[in-house]
Amino acid sequence: MKAAEKRQYLKGMRDGIPIALGYFAVAFSLGIMAKLSGLTPFQGFLSSVLVNASAGEYAGFVVIAENSGLYMMALMTIVASARYFLMSCALSQHIAPDTKMIHRLLIGFDVTDEMFGVMIGRPGYVNPVYAYGLYLLPIIGWSSGTVLGIVSGSILPASVVNALSVALYGMFLAIIVPPARKDRVVLGTVILGFGLSFAFSRLPVVSGLSSGTRTIILTVVIAGLAALLFPRKEEEADA
């Protein structure tokens, strides 16, 4: 690995540390659900390595607990994780055009809310080596947290598990606050997103939709309006 690539990789690892800590805490409670669904520690570990998404994994564990078929599990996982299609499309615009397909696929493998926020907030194109460093510790934290949750079972009280899950939301706020302070458009978009998200959870028709579906609708509408009203020039690649 070249010196420049090594620096990018290490920088990605450093940026992934707080994400890994948050994922570990949330995955612990997910592991308890996996145990109740009858999964072994190895099965939970493999699930978290391959599906680094809380809603998608939770949906899969619920289907397993109900003894439903594989088609139902696939459908539930796709619906619960559908917002990542939109994130991947947006992130593809921040990847250099000459990037090889294998790197594009590997970058798309672990696009989560938090890591998408980190990569999309960086100037210029996303360096694949940086993305690999960013992914490493969160994947380890997510999978190991799931295993520990399965092993521990339901020993810890529910209040402690719920308190641990709050870390993920605090971490996400830490990601969006800095760019929102620098850009009024970003700030307005964030505030609008919070407001509409709350409204959608209360309105008669849309409140009946799943949270993932509401997130998709809001993402398309808000991002579309922001792009239409406040277009931005294409960013140049880093030198």
Q: What is the pLDDT along the chain (239 residues), one digit of tens a residue?
A: 688 888 999 999 999 998 998 888 888 878 888 887 888 999 999 999 988 887 778 878 878 887 877 877 787 777 777 778 888 888 888 888 889 999 999 998 888 888 988 898 888 888 999 999 999 999 999 999 999 988 887 676 767 666 665 655 665 677 678 878 888 888 888 899 889 989 988 888 888 876 656 776 887 788 788 878 887 665 444 43
This prediction has a pTM of 0.67
Instruction: Label residue 60 exposed, middle or buried (CB < 10 Å: 0-12, 13-18, 19+).
Output: buried
HSE at residue 105, side-chain half, CA atoms within 13 A, is 3
**Residues 37 and 62 sit within 8 Å (Cβ to Cβ):** yes
Q: How far is CA 162 from the centre of its chain?
A: 19
Place of tokens 């209040």: 159
Show the tokens assigned to 230: 């406040």
- Locate the domains of the chain by residue range: 3-169, 183-239
- What would you measure as the largest C-alpha separation in the chain, in angstroms? 56
Q: How far is CA 21 from the centre of its chain?
A: 14
The reported pLDDT for the residue numbered 76 is: 74
